[in-house]
């Protein structure tokens, strides 16, 4: 029980979020800040890159490499960084 709650509170992330921060650091002119982003906005944006509804080629390539669980994990991680 203790072990499972520890695992849940520190999800294994599919990619190193520092890689995302290379473009998305707060105040970056390159890309919007991700820290504190609402989970539903984050997930909807990533899905829109996957489908091509949002055309950015960099984000599409990154999004295509992530499955739903990966995206949910990153969304929760970036949201929680603001707390």
Cα 54 from Cα 65, distance rounded (Å): 16
Q: Can you point out the beta strands (E) in the chain?
A: none
Q: Minimum CB separation from ligand HEC for residue 60, in Å?
A: 9
Nearest CB to ligand HEC, comparing residues 1 and 17: 17
Q: Minimum CB separation from ligand HEC for residue 39, in Å?
A: 10
Nearest CB to ligand HEC, comparing residues 7 and 44: 44
> 19, 4, 7: which is closest to 74 by C-alpha?
19
Residues that bind ligand HEC (CB under 6 A): 15, 19-20, 22-24, 30-32, 34, 42, 45-46, 54, 56, 58-59, 62, 74
Whole-angstrom Cα Rg for the chain: 13
């Amino acid at each position: 029980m203790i072990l499972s709650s520890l695992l849940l509170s520190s999800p294994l992330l599919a990619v190193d979020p520092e890689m995302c921060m290379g473009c998305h650091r707060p105040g970056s002119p390159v890309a919007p800040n991700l820290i504190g982003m609402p989970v539903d906005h984050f997930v909807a944006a990533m899905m829109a890159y996957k489908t091509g509804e949002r055309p950015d080629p960099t984000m599409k390539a990154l999004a295509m490499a992530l499955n739903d669980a990966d995206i949910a994990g990153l969304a929760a991680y970036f949201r929680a960084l603001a707390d």
